[in-house]
Structure 1
Amino acid sequence: MYFAKESGKNNYQFFTIDLHRDMSNKMMLEREMHRAVEEQHFHLVYQPQINMAANKMIGVEALLRWNHPKIGFISPAEFIPLAEETGLIIPMGTWVLEAACAQNKAWQEAGLPPIRMSVNVSLRQFMQLNFVEQVEQILDQTGLAPEWLDIEITKSMTADVSHAQQVLSRLRGIGIHVSIDDFGTGYSSLSYLSKFPITKLKIDQSFVRDLAQDRQAIVKTIIDLARNLNLNVIAEGVESKEQARLLMELNCTEAQGYLYAKPLSPEEIEERLSI
């Protein structure tokens, strides 16, 4: 019944052993995720964001990880969609924002060079009526100045134009930066770039992956568009020196990816900032 509903309703599905196993695994994962939220089994890692010309770390992106004490590592691709479906993404997202801001403030208090912390927010978080107040409260609690926080949103969050304009304008009014994640994928309406107070575009890694083949024109268009709108631009998923070289030739100065670093622990970030 649930599988039929998930498949668009108004249809029928036959019971199979595989379907039963998948549903049982899903129920088990949801139960364990509730426990992980209550007992704080999640942790954050941080992927450096680099100024390629200066080879200098200018920020990090906070990434949620779950290492179950019995099951082991569970991929975000497996538990994040389930968290969104069940609503658990709201308390999880709040914890991520709190932990990331507190960590960035701790680095600053340790005397390390200040960097910007990028945090992804979910659609459910973004649509909460008190979302901006929650962000303000977290900044007050952690003591992190707003200019060192970058909220990453997706195109789907701008579908409700009125709500998005209000929320983003308030975030920018506080001094928080706002990035559009995975820009260029799917249907991208250029109109929202001028409607909303965005500060940065993130070029999706699918374009970077095929940069040496037929994607240079698309990437150049995105970069030129960002520059004309006075927006910063960063490329995701940079894995080779050739990709980095081509991006710099196209006037993209910021990047993140395995060429520079995999997601790192707080201690590893400290070591890099200390150099």
Structure 2
Amino acid sequence: MENVLRPLIVIGGSVVLTLLIGWVTDLLLRKADARHDDTTLWGLLRRGRVPYQLLLCAAFLRGSYDQAQLLEEHRIGIGQTLTLVLIGATAWLMIRVAAAIVESSYARYARASRDAARVRRVRTQVTLITRVVAAIVGVVAVAAMLLTFPAMRAAGASLLASAGVLGIVAGVAAQSTLANLFAGLQIAFGDMVRIGDTVVVDGEWGTIEEITLTFLTVRTWDERRITMPVSYFTSKPFENWSRGTPQMTGIVYFQVDHSAPVDAMR
């Protein structure tokens, strides 16, 4: 009887405690969001409740699993799985928290600023910063997961010894990808083009809809999407009609006959 009750108490207690703490935390965030109308931070933090609860549940189970005495022959494998889930949930939560902080800061800046061009510039930088943070956290999380395996820890010394050679080979193999990566950072912080800018590229007129670390999406006037590598905008000329201000001076041609009302047209 004890062999059945102990696992149920440990596992059930971990799940119930996770749900209780998650509910209390979400309640506090909702109250904070209703109390502070000047910021969206607390509302955005609620997006992380799923990884937050997953992190709590994995932590509780990982800490109390040894006492459950359940499936002793698979104890090491289950413990390893819980550790991987714990690392993944932590990375997921960190990405959500970082995105909430960055987005709330941008929303506050957008409300306070009256310069539309500067707001578009900050929006572009915020988008790329969020993607960079997510990529860094993801790489660190995957590395931490791999290091939990004894075979990977044993191979660590040889991997470090060959890191220079592997770095050179990877750099040559991924030359175009690295070029696009650095071009994306150059576009974001060099203020060459921003989300919402009106541009003409390869004879196509459109609006910058999305900028990532490797590609850029232009939405044309007829609702087509043109995906281009960001390195294009650092290596070839293009027209940016809203680089400074949206006002423009241009020439307009009317094909009319001699009976056209010129005064009314003016």
User: TM-score scaled by structure 2?
Assistant: 0.24
More helix by percentage: 2
TM (norm. structure 1) is 0.23
Larger radius of gyration: 2
Higher relative contact order (CA 8 A, sep 6+): 1
